[in-house]
Amino acid sequence: MFLTISTTASAAGAATDLGFLLHKHPDRSQVFSTSYGAAHVFYPEASAERTTAALLLEVDPPALVRRGRTQGRGRGGAPDAALAAYVNDRPYAASSLLAVALRTVFSSALRGECRTLPERAAAPLPLRIEVPALPARGGAPLVERLFAPLGWQVAAEPVALDGHFPQWGASRYVSLVLEGELRLSEALRHLYVLLPVLDDAKHYWVSPDEVDKLLRFGAGWLPAHPEQKLITSRYLSRRWSLTRDALERLELARLADADDIEVEDIDNAVAAEVPEEAEERPTPLAVLRRTAILAALRDHGAARVLDLGCGQGQLVAELLKEPRFTEIAGMDVSVRALDIAARRLRLDRMGERQAGRISLFQGSLAYTDARLKGYDAAVLSEVIEHLDLSRLPSLEYAVFGAARPGTVVVTTPNAEYNVRWETLPAGHVRHADHRFEWTRAEFAAWAGAVAGRYGYQVAYTPVGPDDPEVGPPTQLAVFTLTAQKKKEEAAA
Ligand code: SAH
């Protein structure tokens, strides 16, 4: 596996500056050990006019197989499969292994750090990158679609299966040449993400922190890339839940013009469209949850609805689609979330009538708030678990005691279901900001006590697949003010 990076002299400096930018001296050949074999860095040419750095990864197939086994992903089974683990194209083709080597060997350059020549690292330079054997599922046309929008001039030639037998046609490899004026760190980040995307076969098990990696290395270019969905899905080995999470975060990054934005994890991510390529496409839990909440609101004839802890406004958007909901208010403690909600809803471009139905405001559920009075229904969707248990009684009073809508819909994760999440390590909550997650019994104990204290009745509905052992992923409770209480309050 082999790639070269070349630059030529420019007004900004000599071509040999590449050595400083890569933190590798042009006069020396160096070897780095990676988990999959030795990575060699050397300079086939190094003159002031033109300098080329080469990265050669010498894959050690037994090491690859060993790593696979220790990660519990050995390719056992048929003898052919066992042999394929040793005899394959890995030693020759650029792939996810090469991407890992890039990160290992050029980590400072990837981050754009260069103490000696910081201004060179921050500026574009004339670059030429060559990858003689790049496995590319989707062929040269896809290579073009991936690199061209990033400012590269792309020359991708299919490699013949065998030069002696042209009639055999093209292999799945292309020989790639990229040329452009880009910052070195940008170029490396493009390669780091797109080489494995083109290879479309990760050599390691894709875990949730790959989403963070993708966002980190995709910062500045992936949020606006026209092939963002394909890139995300393939980078994450088509694991739909991770893909959905990543797409949601990319969308928010685009909206917020920032790359560091935090949003709810896996199941709380909005139903970002999962790309065509994804293998499985169950309805996202967030969608099921909103469907269940809307059904509960309709059943109880609510017209004026309050979404407490509305986040980025996904439920508000759904409510807006139905004329029966005449007044919709979203409240959240986070100004940033409200800002994104307003943009997502395009409040500024909304007609007067539509805009008249809706209000968004900042507030905290930890305090009694007069603005929460007078609604038919309030929704607390995936909110209670964000409050410390010690603050929950204040929320209970603010909502059930003071605001006192006829109907309150509460959803929260079912902790028992966590064992069913493929990506959740045992004993973990679903999102870092969750202060607690309850079992069905714990939720029922809480809901029953609150209902009793404030004169409500409560009923439960499962959301998502109702597992015979551990129950559904989301639990939903609908509280209704009892008829007697209503009468008493009307009389008072
Ligand atoms: N209801 C949305 C968002 C859930 S995330 C959904 O179902 O997808 C939880 C939200 O609660 C976050 O937006 C967070 O800012 C908000 N939140 C947390 N503590 C809060 C508090 N004390 N008062 C109001 N909102 C709060």
> In this predicted model, what pLDDT tens digit does every residue of 169-203 receive, in sequence order?
777 889 999 999 999 999 999 999 999 999 887 66
Angstrom distance (rounded) from CA 53 to CA 259? 30
Place of tokens 């603050």: 391
pLDDT confidence of residue 275? 39
Which of 383, 430, 474 to probe ligand 1 with, by most ligand atoms within 8 A of CB?
383
- pLDDT at position 88 is 56
Boundary of a domain, candidates 238, 271, 304 = 271
In a shared domain, residues 154 and 249? yes
Q: pLDDT at position 192, please?
A: 94
Find out whether 39 and 48 touch, Cβ atoms under 8 Å.
no
Whether the model clears a pTM of 0.75, i.e. scores above it, the answer is no
- Please name which of 372, 327, 380 lies closest in space to residue 354, comparing C-alpha atoms: 327
Question: What average pLDDT does the segment 128-155 reach?
Answer: 94
Confidence of residue 368 (pLDDT cuts 50, 70, 90): very high
pLDDT, one tens digit per residue, over 448-477 is 999 999 999 999 999 998 988 999 999 999
CATH code (residue 122)? 3.30.1610.20
Kindly tell me if the per-residue pLDDT of 315 is higher than 50.
yes
* Residue 262: pLDDT band with limits 50, 70, 90: very low
Handedness of CA 104, 105, 111, 115 (dihedral sign): positive
Q: What is the mean pLDDT of residues 241-258?
A: 76
pLDDT at 210: 87
266 and 335 both lie in a single domain:
no
Are the beta carbons of 106 and 30 closer than 8 angstroms? no
**Section 362-374 average pLDDT:** 93
Residue with tokens 């999470």: 245
Query: Is the per-residue pLDDT at 92 higher than 90?
Result: no
Measured between alpha carbons, how far is 238 from 80 in angstroms, rounded to an integer?
25
Q: How confident is the model at residue 250 (pLDDT cuts 50, 70, 90)?
A: confident
Asked whether residue 336 falls in the same domain as residue 225, the answer is: no
Same domain, 365 and 340: yes
Specify the 3-state DSSP secondary structure of 144: helix
The DSSP H or E segment spanning 293 is: helix 285-299
Cα separation of 249 and 270, whole Å?
9
Strands 2-8 and 30-34: unpaired
184 CA to middle of ligand 1, Å?
Answer: 40
Do residue 389 and residue 451 come from a single domain? yes
Query: For 124-140, what is the mean pLDDT?
Result: 92
Calculate the average pLDDT of the chain: 84
User: Where does ligand 1 bind, in terms of residues with CB under 6 Å?
Assistant: 264, 268, 309-311, 314, 332-334, 337, 364-366, 381-383, 386-387
Domain CATH code at residue 445: 3.40.50.150
* C-alpha to C-alpha distance for 272 and 269, rounded to whole angstroms: 8
Q: Are residues 321 and 173 in the same domain?
A: no
The residue contributing the CA closest to ligand 1 atom 18 is 386
The residue from 271, 304, 327 where one domain ends is 271
Ligand 1 atom closest to 365 (CA): 23
Are 233 and 299 contained in the same domain? no
**pLDDT single digits (tens) 433-456:** 788 999 999 999 999 999 999 999
| Burial readout 186-209 (b: 16 or more C-beta within 10 A, e: otherwise) | bbbbbbbbbbbbbbbebbbebebe
Specify if 278 maps to a domain.
Answer: no
Tokens 């809508």: give the residue.
Answer: 405
482 and 352 housed in the same domain: yes
pLDDT of 74 reads 36
**Cβ of 82: how many Cβ atoms within 10 Å?**
13
Residue 279 lies in a domain: no
The helix/strand/coil state of 395 is: helix
Question: Among the atoms of ligand 1, which is closest to the Cα of residue 334?
Answer: 15
Least confident of 62-66, 228-232, 311-315, 421-425: 62-66
Residue pair 377/407 in contact (Cβ under 8 Å)? The answer is yes
- Residue 302 covered by a domain: yes
CB atoms within 10 A of CB 137: 12
Asked if residue 259 and residue 379 are part of one domain, the reply reads no
The answer to whether the CB of 199 falls within 8 A of the CB of 173 is no
Q: What is the pLDDT of residue 272?
A: 34
Q: What percent of the chain has pLDDT over 90?
A: 53
The parent domain of residue 234 ranges over 2-271
276 domain residue, yes or no: no
Given a cut of 80, is residue 79 above it in pLDDT?
no
Residue 294 has pLDDT above 80, yes or no: yes
Q: How far is the CA of 490 from the centre of ligand 1 (A)?
A: 32
The answer on 293 and 266 residing in a single domain is no
Helices (H) and strands (E) in the chain, counts: 18, 14
Check whether residue 60 and residue 144 sit in a common domain: yes
**Residue 358 belongs to some domain of the structure:** yes
Average pLDDT of the residues in 72-92:
47
CA of 411 to the centre of ligand 1 (A): 12
The residue among 271, 295, 312 that closes a domain is 271
Strand order across the beta sheet in which 377-381 lies: 358-362, 327-332, 304-308, 377-381, 407-413, 474-481, 456-463
Q: Return the percentage of the chain with pLDDT > 70, whole number.
A: 85
Residue 101 located in a structural domain = yes
Q: Which residue has the higher pLDDT, 215 or 419?
A: 215
pLDDT at position 328 is 97
* Tokens (6 digits) for 379: 């929704």
Q: Is residue 294 part of a domain?
A: yes
What spacing in Å lies between the alpha carbon of 383 and ligand 1's midpoint?
5
Range name among 30-34, 120-124, 370-374 with the lowest pLDDT average: 30-34
Site of tokens 């007697």: 484
Say if residue 189 is in the same domain as residue 290.
Answer: no
Cα–Cα distance, 174 to 159 (Å, whole number)? 5
Residue type, 198: L
Residue 203 lies in a domain: yes
pLDDT category, 220, cuts 50, 70, 90?
confident
366 CA closest ligand 1 atom index: 22
Q: How many domains does the chain have?
A: 2
